[in-house]
């Protein structure tokens, strides 16, 4: 999920005109937004009170409706890193290098074509179930490690992005911003499971849509913004003809997004929560369109930033290279009225929380079902449910601490994204579609070899 590159920033970000103190009006607006999201999450948990089965907590009783399913599928992918990364890619490299929207759209389409129906019909609970079924419970559990690393660092990177955004716009401390945001997401996820996550995702997706599209016309009318015509502002980008090898890099990155975007529990949790296998496919195809559509306003904002004379804005200078990853909140802050800035801030906050809660729930679900239940304690008691709740706290805590302590998570996240692509996708594809051609020994060899090659590729 390399679009999350935008979410990975130094926690010591400064925007060039930051004022001392906290923006009280903005702080009140974000508190109200957080209380609304928390209220919706707790309300959805209350509606399902008394039901504590594994399917209920992890898969919403396999009873997610089509509309809610489509919206939560889209919201899960359209995170803070997704919209920040799309705007940053347009601003720094051009449309040709903005691969996440079409990459993720294709990955969801392929997931619907080749995985959704088979896995829903098999009534799996998590993505690791077919792996443990084919390679054995103990070795299948080892494949949990790259999945957990990806989910944890995904959460950490987008929490870091939100922390930096709140610091820039509101003047809040980075640590406080991250802890409060993570705590809100954990509370309703802890009590309501996938139901709470799904219903809050619906509200968050509408917030993202409204916040981004309201930002566009106001930013375009700013006097510092020039023409968006490609002949005047090069927001399309290009690959130089004298460096054809770059096409290989472009293709490799695209394949990582397309195929590496499939083996994530956050995706399969939505697929497996569908009422029927046909509905599981519909969620994937509709989510594919939703991801592409939701990237449009972020692309426009990136083009606006490219056409802006930043020295003529309240920012007072051109955007430094080490601050381009925050181009989205910079546009909201310096090119729009204050009330629009706060709507945009709500969009970024909603995007981050819609992905963070999904990631935390995904990591805990796999541990409860595939590690604790299938390996540590092979029982059918209610312990895995309680274990999953404990794991929610553990995953969220690790992600929060990582977001606070690590100045740049991108290199770690890039590595884990690669590991998910190399170590999980081939294993999952073969376990689902060609189980008679693979065995545990082959899986071990592929696991070790893939890990070594990707580690060496980083040096």
Rg of the chain taking only CA atoms, in angstroms: 21
Q: What is the pLDDT of residues 337-388, one digit of tens each?
A: 988 888 887 777 777 776 777 777 788 888 888 888 888 876 555 555 566 6
| In-domain check, residue 78 | yes
- The secondary structure of 246-257, three-state, reads HHHHHHHHHHHH
Name which of 211, 167, 181 is nearest 38 in CA terms. 181
Instruction: Pull the structure tokens for residue 245.
Output: 């090898």
Q: What is the pLDDT of residues 181-226, one digit of tens each?
A: 788 777 767 766 677 778 888 888 888 889 899 999 999 999 999 9
When divided into structural domains, the chain yields a total of 1
pLDDT over 90 at 79, yes or no: no
pTM comes to 0.85
| In-domain check, residue 448 | no
Q: What is the pLDDT of residues 431-450, one digit of tens each?
A: 999 999 999 999 999 999 98
- Render 263-278 in DSSP notation, one character per residue: S-HHHHHHHHTBSSHH
Q: What is the pLDDT of residues 40-51, one digit of tens each?
A: 877 877 776 655
Domain that holds residue 396: 2-408
The set of residues, in sequence order, having a beta carbon less than 8 Å from that of 303 and lying 6+ positions away, is 90, 91, 228, 233, 235
Q: What CATH number is associated with residue 300?
A: 1.20.1730.10
| In-domain check, residue 335 | yes
Instruction: Pull the structure tokens for residue 238.
Output: 């290009």
Please state, in angstroms and rounded to a whole number, the distance separating the CA atoms of residues 100 and 257.
Answer: 7
| In-domain check, residue 28 | yes
pLDDT at 12: 37
| In-domain check, residue 433 | no
| In-domain check, residue 169 | yes
| In-domain check, residue 442 | no
The set of residues, in sequence order, having a beta carbon less than 8 Å from that of 287 and lying 6+ positions away, is 70, 73, 74, 77, 108, 270
Secondary structure letter of residue 448 according to DSSP: H
| In-domain check, residue 175 | yes
């Amino acid at each position: 999920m390399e679009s999350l590159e935008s979410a990975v920033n130094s926690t010591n970000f400064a925007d060039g005109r930051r004022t001392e103190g906290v923006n009280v009006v903005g702080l009140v607006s974000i508190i109200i937004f957080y209380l609304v999201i928390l209220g919706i999450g707790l309300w959805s948990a209350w509606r399902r009170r008394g039901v504590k089965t594994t399917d209920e907590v992890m898969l919403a009783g396999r009873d997610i409706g089509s509309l809610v399913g489509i919206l939560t599928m889209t919201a899960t992918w359209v995170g803070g890193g997704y919209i920040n990364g799309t705007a940053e890619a347009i601003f720094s490299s051009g449309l040709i290098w903005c691969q996440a929207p079409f990459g993720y759209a294709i990955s969801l389409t392929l997931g619907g074509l080749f995985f959704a129906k088979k896995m829903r019909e098999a009534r799996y609970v998590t993505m690791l179930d077919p792996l443990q079924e084919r390679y054995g419970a103990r070795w299948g559990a080892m494949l949990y490690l790259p999945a957990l690393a990806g989910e944890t660092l995904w959460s950490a990177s987008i929490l870091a992005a939100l922390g930096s955004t709140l610091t820039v716009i509101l003047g809040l401390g980075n640590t406080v911003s991250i802890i409060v945001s993570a705590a809100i997401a954990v509370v309703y996820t802890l009590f309501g499971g996938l139901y709470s996550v799904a219903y809050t995702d619906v509200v968050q997706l509408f917030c993202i849509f409204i916040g981004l599209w309201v930002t566009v016309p106001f930013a375009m009318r700013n006097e510092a913004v020039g023409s968006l015509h490609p002949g005047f502002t090069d927001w399309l980008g290009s690959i130089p003809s004298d460096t054809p090898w770059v096409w290989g890099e472009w293709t490799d990155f695209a394949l990582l997004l397309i195929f590496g975007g499939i083996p994530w529990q956050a995706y399969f949790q939505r697929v497996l929560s569908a009422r029927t296998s046909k509905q599981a496919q519909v969620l994937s195809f509709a989510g594919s369109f939703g991801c592409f559509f939701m990237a449009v306003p972020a692309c426009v904002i990136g083009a606006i930033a490219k056409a802006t004379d930043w020295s003529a804005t309240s920012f007072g200078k051109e955007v430094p290279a080490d601050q381009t990853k925050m181009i989205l909140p910079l546009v909201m802050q310096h090119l729009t009225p204050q009330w629009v800035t706060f709507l945009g801030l709500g969009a970024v906050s909603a995007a981050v929380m819609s992905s963070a809660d999904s990631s935390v729930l995904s990591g805990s679900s796999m541990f409860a079902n595939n590690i604790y239940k299938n390996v540590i304690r092979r029982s059918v008691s209610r312990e895995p449910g309680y274990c999953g709740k404990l794991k929610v706290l553990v995953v969220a805590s690790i992600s929060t601490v990582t977001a606070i302590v690590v100045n740049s998570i991108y290199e770690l996240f890039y590595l884990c994204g690669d590991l998910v692509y190399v170590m999980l996708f081939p294993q999952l594809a073969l376990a689902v579609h060609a189980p008679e051609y693979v065995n545990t020994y082959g899986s071990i060899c592929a696991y070790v070899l893939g890990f070594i090659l990707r580690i060496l590729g980083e040096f």
